[in-house]
Structure 1
Amino acid sequence: MAIVKMKKLRVMAMADRREALLRALLRLGCVEISEPDGLLEDPAWSALLQRGSSRLADTKSEINDVNTALDAIRRYAGLKDGLFIKRHPISEEAFLSAGTAERAQAVSREVGEQLQTLTRLQSEENRLVARQASLLPWQAMDMPLELSGTEHVLFRPGVVPAGVNVGELQVSFGDLAAELLEISSDKQQKYCLLVCLRQDEEAVMECLRPFSFSAVSFQGLTGTADANLTSVSQALAENRKAQEDAAAAIAANGEARDALRVYADRLAAEAAEETSAQRILTDGTIAFFEGWAPAASMQKVQALLEKEGCAWEAEDPTPEEYSEVPIQLKNNWLTRPLNMVTEMYSLPAYDNVDPNPLMAPFFILFYGVMMADMGYGLLMILAGILITRTYRPKGTAGNLFNLMTLCGVTTFLMGAVTGGFFGDFLTQLVKLATGRDFALPALFTPLDDTLMILVGAMCLGFVQIVTGMVISFVQKLKKGQVLDAVFEEVTWWVVFAGIALMVLKVTNLVLYAGLVLVVAGPLITGKGFGKITGIFASLYNHITGYFGDILSYSRLMALMLAGSVIAQVFNTLGAIPGNIVVFIIISMAGNALNFALNLLGCYVHDLRLQCLEYFGKFYEDGGKPFRPLAINTKYVDIENV
């Protein structure tokens, strides 16, 4: 497998054919239209051509409306999507049908109107609830709220903190003709009615100031608090009934959800088209754009461009343009799932190698070594196959579950080698049921053969590191960097071989030859005093680097051992009561936790080994993904596009 070779396109067409050309490119799905910023910075181009206009803002607004409608229908109709959205096949004709779009637009408008009604009603409800809360403490006050007193007497509702003693407050009035009547109270404050002569108002308020008395007003309200509460309760009942009606009207559109989903996917395609439309330059008469297309697709691209009456050219990118070339990886069923790993790290540079086929055997094997349990492997295989076939996820999600299936196979195989099935579940179960000792056959076990597993893990790491060095060696030879290839890779292969032969007591000459090459490398390639310092730098960097890298692979043993021990601990705990039902419950709960932790933990550690120890030997990243103008759907699979 390799990085897909790209062709740089320059296309010119009549401006009135722009929409038809974009729609044809959308359906073709293999041309990426580049941003024209570089051209617009050139005065010669910017004086002639400007960016084209588009309906992107309107389309995004429609997408937002449709998504809002879908969310509302799911909420009020009680529809559940589950963990994954099940994609349904649909014909191209139905996908582009005007009838489907019109129905979806009508439903979207209706749901939007009902949502606006609900928002207004909910705001009104909040206002009524707040008014109800403010009136409840005054319900026992049998006095119109608008009444402020008589010609000579003042009535003033107010509140004081809950800790205030109304009796003591009353004493503070002295000889003043005033009375403070407690209407009700709660944990925060007391609700009171002040009655006093108008002529004593100022003196009375001065007496109340130390007690934090605060006047309350009921602006716009007439009648007693109780009468107003009755009115508010009726308004709340009507409001909530109206909300129920609006929610029911939204729920009634549940049958139109599929149409909305199709329209949402269609709008997403239109948004992609409009985004590309903004990248096309025009002077009103002609339209011009640059872009990229896979070399293998150029026959289809040529046929389309000629059909649309375009003037065009395609050429290989120059080395100076490699940083601009979008990257598409050419993979098969085995290596394609590793795209999610590569994209998570970084895509390769255009003149580098596709890491997926070089990484796939190691990643899948290492994951199985760390998980190493037949039960967990079966769960991974079944989950991956079931989700892939039922929901048909695409993109990163599809790669994730395909990778889970592949890693499940190696996990099962390594579990068979180590005799693990949910740890020692079967051993404990048979002993509980029959009292007999039982164990699955195993070549080795994590608890009994820890040292052997550690050595094997580091040997696997050594193989991967040497593989990375081989790839680096080949790349350097292709670039003409012969001396670098010899003194960076060949030198240390000789050293490694020499150490092995010395340990086996065959000969020391190969090691001596390797050390001579280690010294010769800096002397030949270095300059000045750097010839001497380069020797020590090379020794230090390579010895510590290779030792540290190989030691990192001990995590293969560590995670295998940890997963096995945790599973056995839960199985042992479950077996203590001596009841099979209790054992199964505790064991399954513990193994479920162990399985979940290892799914993530093994992935993270496996990813680290690939990205740091392996990629560090040969990989050059920095590529940007190839994103052609294409129909990418979330809810449906389009047939015959």
Structure 2
Amino acid sequence: MAIEKMALVNIIGRFEDLDETLIRCCDSGCFHIEPAFKNEANSTVKLLNEKNPFGVPLKEFASLATEMGIELKETKGTRFNGWTAEQFNELSENIDSEIEEKNGEKQKLATEVSELEGAVLQVDHLRGMNSDFSKIFACKHTACRIGRMPADNLAKLQYYDQTFFFVPFETTKDFCWGMYFCANGDKELVDSIFRSMFFERIHLPDYVSGNTDEAIAKLNDQIKNKKAEIEALDKEIAVLAEKHDQTILEAYTALKKRYDIFELRRKVGAVKEKFYIKGFVPKKQADKFSESFDDMEEVEVVLLPPDADAYCTPPTVLKNGWFTRPYSMLVEMYGLPKYNGFNPTAFVAITYTLLFGIMFGDLGQGFLLFLGGLILGRKSKQAGGIVARCGFSSMIFGTLYGSVFGFEELLDPVFENLGIDFLPLKAFEQSSFILLTAVGIGIFLIAVSMLLNIYIGFREKNYEKAVFGCNGIAGLIFYGSLVTFVVSKFILKIELASSAVFALLLVIPGICIFCRVPFAIAAKYKKWKLSEDEEDMTVGGFIVENFFEMFEFLLSYVSNTMSFLRVGGFVLSHAGMMLVVMTLLNMSATAAKPFTLVIGNLFVMAMEGMIVAIQIIRLEFYEIFSRFYESDGKEFEPMSVSFDTEVNI
């Protein structure tokens, strides 16, 4: 697997052809635009920084669509191609003038309905008052107040010997609604008394008349009539929406394209009376891209090698095959490699698929995952592809484990008939072998990661990385010797080699790692010198800093290796969880057994499948990627139009 080769493209032409040039670049679907110039010292060259004139009409059409209930979407149509911002503004004003009057009436009616509904809520608390509101408020010598106060204060009114009386209408746990009467001459004093008891006055609208029931009935009739008027206006607006639907969608589509393309002017350079555009296209599409401008005589397209411009870094496009393509999602999640870097997708695809099968081995459950991946692939090819491949791997290892939906003995007769006596592999009977194998897998993957790092280091002529680093040749020898020492001494019980061999395989690589920076500089420049960062460092500082780094490297060798124990741990965990399901199955009644089996398997698949997937990602990113992968690449983003309603102007 590799990285797609790119070609640097320079486009030069007259300003009258700029918009058409940008449109063709966008329509090609393969042009990644870059800022035309990055050298600020060049005063003769400037990047265009004009205000986008299409922003205002674009927002206007989006607002019109919202008012008419039209769902914005890309629509085919060519009648608005070449329109100016002024023409779009005029069109939006003409359509808006038709709907503005209707919306104004609708908003006014909605406000009136809201006020009427509020009045209904207020009057509803005054049920039981049979007098006419208008007659009560028309009294010349008596003041009347309607409102509510905390229910606890109702009993306190008896302590006031004043010329007023309070009529309660409705009392709840928290409030008491009612009205009080007093003489006009005493209303200021009485009002202050009720305010001290937190009386909240309710001001009834002037149009409330009659007694409580009559007032509510009249208010509800008014609400009903006004809502009917609103429905009639909605129908009229719907007719207008149907009339202008296609026009608005086509205009919005054309506007959004013109808006996005005009925004790209910020990356276009201006040289006297000509524009200058720079970007990248995939090399295999470069000739076709160049040919699309053949009919524009004043526009010149120049194809160059991707490294022709020192100020411009080519973007990265991962080039993967059928099996590995879905796993590019995981690589992109970590970060893309730089252009001409190493594409690790194949390595991730193989290791991820195998590790998932080992940790989640079950023939039946794997088959369900495989089918689920095929179905999911219709909506998301990457996610569905990963699930399908992991499910197939789970089926293979489930066969080796002899596990089918948790039944561990179901495949035993098959292996007996085939004469394979060492299969199936029983998790609990061979737990030590499984855990040791998991560590062995970790050692192998770490060693492969180091080999990849060495290969990448030599390709980049980075000798510190390839030879002297903790993941270079010195690190590989040191790690391999350390593993050999532990395995031979504590597992195979073999006598160690002589001290000279031990010194050769451990001490010398350790010294190389400790002094990796000066050794790498000496190998590169054929002379001994310090890097710029180390020129001011003392000998003591150099020793202390590299001592702790060396200690960190040793810890990483141990921790990364032991981290792969989780591979064997999840093999045992899966077997243990299915043992619980089988135990519950045996304890269940005959009628409940199918239900228990299905629910148990689905629970294990959902919970453990998700945990295993996450744990493998952790192994990939921390134990494997950290040894060789550098994610400092730039994503390939071809020019395109985004049909949404978010516009910042």
Residue of structure 1 equivalent to 2:564 = 553
**SS of aligned partner of 1:301:** helix
Counterpart AA for 2:283: A
Structure 2, gaps ≥5 residues long: 82-90, 411-421, 520-529, 531-538, 645-649
Deviation at 1:633, TM superposition (A): 9.1
Does structure 1 residue 463 correspond to structure 2 residue 447? Answer: no
CA contact (8 A) 2:147 2:177 kept: yes
Does structure 1 residue 145 correspond to structure 2 residue 136? Answer: no
Pairs within 5 Å for 1:124-139: 125-139=113-127
CA contact (8 A) 2:142 2:182 kept: yes
1:211 maps to which of 177, 197, 216:
197
Counterpart AA for 2:620: Q
Residue of structure 2 equivalent to 1:199 = 185
Does structure 1 residue 566 correspond to structure 2 residue 566? Answer: no
Counterpart AA for 1:186: T
CA gap of 1:334–1:579, structure 2 versus 1, over 3 A, is same
**SS of aligned partner of 2:203:** coil
**SS of aligned partner of 2:632:** strand
Residue of structure 1 equivalent to 2:526 = none
Deviation at 1:219, TM superposition (A): 3.7
1:294 maps to which of 263, 269, 282:
282
Counterpart AA for 1:11: I
Does structure 1 residue 314 correspond to structure 2 residue 300? Answer: no
CA gap of 1:135–1:294, structure 2 versus 1, over 3 A, is same
- Give RMSD over aligned pairs: 4.3
Residue of structure 2 equivalent to 1:584 = 594
Counterpart AA for 2:393: T
**SS of aligned partner of 1:38:** coil
CA contact (8 A) 1:326 1:626 kept: yes
Report Cα offsets for 1:382-429 as digits up to 9, x if no partner. 1222233xx4x4xxx3211111111111122122222223323997xx
Residue of structure 2 equivalent to 1:438 = none
Return the alpha-carbon distance in structure 2 between the equivalents of residues 322 and 560 of structure 1.
51
Return the alpha-carbon distance in structure 2 between the equivalents of residues 610 and 119 of structure 1.
59
1:330 maps to which of 302, 315, 319:
319
Counterpart AA for 1:197: A
Return the alpha-carbon distance in structure 2 between the equivalents of residues 442 and 249 of structure 1.
76
1:407 maps to which of 387, 390, 396:
390
Moved more, 194-203 or 481-490: 481-490
Pairs within 5 Å for 1:95-110: 96-98=76-78
1:227 maps to which of 182, 199, 214:
214
1:490 maps to which of 461, 473, 487:
473
Deviation at 1:352, TM superposition (A): 2.3
**SS of aligned partner of 2:449:** helix
Return the alpha-carbon distance in structure 2 between the equivalents of residues 558 and 618 of structure 1.
26
CA contact (8 A) 1:454 1:557 kept: yes
Deviation at 1:42, TM superposition (A): 3.9
- Identical columns (%): 19
Counterpart AA for 2:602: A
Does structure 1 residue 15 correspond to structure 2 residue 38? Answer: no
Does structure 1 residue 32 correspond to structure 2 residue 43? Answer: no
Counterpart AA for 1:27: D
CA gap of 1:229–1:276, structure 2 versus 1, over 3 A, is same
CA gap of 1:209–1:387, structure 2 versus 1, over 3 A, is closer
TM-score relative to the length of structure 1: 0.78
**SS of aligned partner of 1:183:** strand
Counterpart AA for 1:51: N
CA contact (8 A) 2:48 2:267 kept: no
Return the alpha-carbon distance in structure 2 between the equivalents of residues 554 and 260 of structure 1.
61
2:459 maps to which of 454, 457, 478:
478
Does structure 1 residue 542 correspond to structure 2 residue 558? Answer: no
Report Cα offsets for 1:19-72 as digits up to 9, x if no partner. 3323322232111112347266742212xx623665663586489569969998
Report Cα offsets for 1:206-231 as digits up to 9, x if no partner. 55455333433224334134333213
**SS of aligned partner of 1:7:** strand
2:424 maps to which of 428, 443, 452:
443
Residue of structure 1 equivalent to 2:417 = none
CA contact (8 A) 1:143 1:223 kept: no
Report Cα offsets for 1:266-318 as digits up to 9, x if no partner. 88766654443443345795332111122222211222233433223333344
CA gap of 1:184–1:494, structure 2 versus 1, over 3 A, is closer
2:350 maps to which of 337, 344, 361:
361
Residue of structure 1 equivalent to 2:176 = 190
**SS of aligned partner of 2:292:** helix
Moved more, 550-559 or 308-317: 308-317
**SS of aligned partner of 2:153:** coil
CA gap of 1:66–1:474, structure 2 versus 1, over 3 A, is farther
Return the alpha-carbon distance in structure 1 between the equivalents of residues 37 and 382 of structure 2.
34
Counterpart AA for 2:434: I
Does structure 1 residue 375 correspond to structure 2 residue 396? Answer: no
Does structure 1 residue 5 correspond to structure 2 residue 5? Answer: yes
Report Cα offsets for 1:55-113 as digits up to 9, x if no partner. 66358648956996999879xxxxxxxxxxxxxxxxxxx97344999xxx99xx99x99
TM-score relative to the length of structure 2: 0.77
Residue of structure 1 equivalent to 2:484 = 500
**SS of aligned partner of 1:342:** helix
Counterpart AA for 1:540: F
CA contact (8 A) 2:75 2:249 kept: no
Deviation at 1:621, TM superposition (A): 1.2
1:454 maps to which of 418, 432, 435:
435
Return the alpha-carbon distance in structure 1 between the equivalents of residues 292 and 208 of structure 2.
77
CA gap of 1:211–1:543, structure 2 versus 1, over 3 A, is closer
Return the alpha-carbon distance in structure 1 between the equivalents of residues 180 and 407 of structure 2.
80
CA contact (8 A) 1:472 1:617 kept: yes
Pairs within 5 Å for 1:270-281: 272-281=260-269
Counterpart AA for 2:436: V
Deviation at 1:346, TM superposition (A): 1.0
Does structure 1 residue 43 correspond to structure 2 residue 43? Answer: yes
CA contact (8 A) 2:62 2:252 kept: no
**SS of aligned partner of 1:327:** coil
Return the alpha-carbon distance in structure 1 between the equivalents of residues 433 and 335 of structure 2.
35
CA gap of 1:471–1:59, structure 2 versus 1, over 3 A, is farther
Deviation at 1:469, TM superposition (A): 0.7
Deviation at 1:458, TM superposition (A): 1.6
Return the alpha-carbon distance in structure 1 between the equivalents of residues 80 and 607 of structure 2.
45
CA gap of 1:557–1:115, structure 2 versus 1, over 3 A, is farther
Residue of structure 2 equivalent to 1:80 = none
Deviation at 1:11, TM superposition (A): 1.0
Counterpart AA for 2:220: S
CA gap of 1:425–1:171, structure 2 versus 1, over 3 A, is farther
Residue of structure 2 equivalent to 1:342 = 331
CA contact (8 A) 1:347 1:625 kept: yes
CA contact (8 A) 1:476 1:484 kept: yes
CA gap of 1:459–1:205, structure 2 versus 1, over 3 A, is same
CA contact (8 A) 1:13 1:286 kept: yes
Report Cα offsets for 1:156-194 as digits up to 9, x if no partner. 22322212345x5246235x3x32222222232222222
CA gap of 1:366–1:124, structure 2 versus 1, over 3 A, is farther
Structure 1, gaps ≥5 residues long: 75-93, 428-440, 635-641
Return the alpha-carbon distance in structure 1 between the equivalents of residues 621 and 601 of structure 2.
29
Does structure 1 residue 157 correspond to structure 2 residue 146? Answer: yes
